[in-house]
Amino acid sequence: MSEALLMEEEKEALATEQSDEIVEEVTEEVVPEEPLDPNALLEVRHLSKHFPAKKNFFGKPLSYLKAVDDVSFKIERGTTLGIVGESGCGKTTLGRTILRLQPATQGKIYFNGIDINALKTAEMNALRPQMQIIFQDPYSSLSPRMPIGEIIGEAVVQHKLMPKSEVKEYVLGVMKSCGLPYHYYERYPHEFSGGQRQRICIATALALKPQFVVCDEPVSALDVSIQAQIINLLKDMQNKMGLTYIFISHDLSVVEHISDKVGVMYLGSMVEYGKTSDIFDKPMHPYTEALFSAVPIPDPNRHASRIILSGDIPSPINAPSGCKFHTRCNHCMDICKEVAPKFKDYGEGHMVACHLYSQD
Task: List contacts with another protein (CB under 8 A).
Answer: 1, 3-4, 86-87, 176, 179-181, 183, 190-193, 195-196, 199, 223-229, 231-232, 235, 250, 252-254, 256-257, 280, 290-301, 303, 306, 308-309, 312-313
User: DSSP H helical segments within 56-193, as ranges?
Assistant: 91-98, 121-127, 148-158, 164-177
Cβ proximity to another protein: between 176 and 240 the closer is 176
CB-count exposure of residue 38 (10 Å: 0-12, 13-18, 19+)? exposed
- Exposure on the CB side of residue 132, measured as CA atoms within 13 A: 21
What is the C-alpha separation between 297 and 23, in angstroms, rounded? 45
Minimum CB–partner distance for residue 147 and another protein (Å): 13
The answer to whether 51 and 61 have CB atoms below 8 angstroms apart is: no
Minimum CB–partner distance for residue 110 and another protein (Å): 32
Minimum CB–partner distance for residue 328 and another protein (Å): 8
Cβ proximity to another protein: between 3 and 34 the closer is 3
Distances (CA, A) of 357 to 1, 209, 284, 305, 344: 38, 43, 8, 23, 9
Question: DSSP class of residue 191?
Answer: G
Cβ proximity to another protein: between 234 and 270 the closer is 234
Minimum CB–partner distance for residue 178 and another protein (Å): 8
Cβ proximity to another protein: between 4 and 14 the closer is 4
Look at residues 244, 239, 195, 240 and name the one whose alpha carbon lies nearest to residue 218: 195
Cβ proximity to another protein: between 118 and 317 the closer is 317
Minimum CB–partner distance for residue 111 and another protein (Å): 29
